[in-house]
Structure 1
């Protein structure tokens, strides 16, 4: 697997653990429907939360939230619709982005964008 894929999977693991520590309950990782994938699906305060995780080793090329474009959002929403149907979810939902950033010293920081799109 390419190094960027390994970094992406590690970022997803770190983001999941960070969200769990904030009181979220993890339901699924890497849920797929057709060409769409949702990195993390969690519940929090009676919400079903779909999370796109983006890793950045600096911000020179932009911030995490800038890399979830229209096409990516539409794919995530399509997969979320299928998940909602499969689980017969009848409560509120939310789409979040979690940016995982590694600074020059190697320290990991998170930036959470709640209700980032729909």
Structure 2
């Protein structure tokens, strides 16, 4: 597996551990719909929190969350529309980003709740 893929998987595990400690229930990891992949789908109370995880080994080229572009947002919206309908859920949906800078044994985690809006 390429180093960037390994870093991404490690970041997703760090994010899951972080979310569980904050009281979120992990419903799905790497949920796929058409061309979209949702990193983590969680629930906390009546909120379905859709989590996009961005992991970098350095912030030298910018913050990890800056990599979430309009195309990715559009794909996430379509995937979650389908997921909510498929599961018959009646919940509030929120889109979060967990930005991780992980270098050797040092990890910085930033949880951006409601990072973008859902209409």
**Normalising by the residue count of structure 1, what TM-score does the alignment of the two structures yield?**
0.94
Q: Which residue is 2:60 aligned to?
A: 60
Runs of 4+ off more than 2 Å: none
What is the CA distance between 1:19 and its match in structure 2?
Answer: 0.5
Structure with greater proportional strand content: 2
What are the residue-to-residue correspondences of 1:19-30 with 2, within 5 Å?
19-30=19-30
Query: Any idea what SS the aligned residue of 1:114 has?
Result: strand
Q: What is the CA–CA distance in structure 1 between the aligned matches of 2:85 and 2:58, rounded to whole Å?
A: 38
Deviations 1:59-91 (CA, angstroms, capped at 9, x unpaired) = 111112211000010011111111111111112
Query: Any idea what SS the aligned residue of 1:61 has?
Result: coil
What is the number of residues matched between the two proteins?
Answer: 117
What is the RMSD computed on CA atoms of the aligned residues? Answer: 1.1
Q: What stretches of structure 2 of length at least 5 have no aligned partner?
A: none
Q: Which residue is 1:88 aligned to?
A: 88
What are the residue-to-residue correspondences of 1:1-118 with 2, within 5 Å?
1-103=1-103, 106-118=105-117
What is the CA distance between 1:36 and its match in structure 2?
Answer: 0.1
Q: What is the CA–CA distance in structure 2 between the aligned matches of 1:15 and 1:22, rounded to whole Å?
A: 11
2:7/2:56 contact within 8 Å kept? no
